[in-house]
Amino acid sequence: MMFVSFNVNSIRTRLHQLEALIESHNPDFIGLQETKVRDEEFPVEAIRELGYHVHFHGQKTHYGVALLSRIEPDQVVKGYPGDAEEAQCRLITGQFTVNGQKLTVINGYFPQGESRSHPIKFPAKEKFYADLMA
């Protein structure tokens, strides 16, 4: 099984790069970060034509993640449980069954947090990681 993580920095602008990546590596799973597109504008059909199931969690101009897979997921979770409506779209998790075994694939666009002294960004980064480990 091959897994690829790709910070696409706008899926609509760089769909051709995703196509080239697939042609070159033919991965089973692809995690996209910084899709930078609202869910209703995500290029679902273009990705399905590439042979992938696609699930996404996005917002306009910032952040956004997507999970592409050759097999249909059993379950997809967007964000963290309890995320507020205005939460940044940075995490998507898929549950799969592969050869009778359960597989969890987590795709995240992890906050960089600036310096430890930053009053907002660094605490947000710490919370993101703490929530991931919870």
How far apart (Å, rounded) are the C-alpha atoms in residues 31 and 47? 13
Largest CA distance in the chain: 47
Tokens of 30: 């692809």
pLDDT (tens, 9 = 90+) of the chain, 134 residues, equals 999 999 999 999 999 999 999 999 999 999 999 999 999 999 999 999 999 999 999 998 889 999 999 999 999 999 998 898 889 999 999 999 999 999 999 999 999 888 999 999 999 999 999 999 98
Cα 41 to the center of its chain, rounded Å = 16
CATH for the stretch 3-133: 3.60.10.10
Task: Give the count of beta carbons closer than 10 Å to the beta carbon of residue 90.
Answer: 22
Give this prediction's pTM: 0.94
Task: Give the integer Cα–Cα distance in Å for 81 and 108.
Answer: 15
Residue 69, φ and ψ in degrees, nearest 5: -150, 150
* φ and ψ of 106, to 5 deg: -110, 125
Q: Where are the domains of the chain?
A: 3-133
Per-residue pLDDT, 86: 85
Instruction: Tell me the β-bridge partners of 107.
Output: 92
Tokens of 63: 């952040």
Contact call for residues 14 and 43 (beta carbons, < 8 A):
no
CA–CA separation, 1 and 126 (whole Å): 31
pLDDT of residue 114: 84
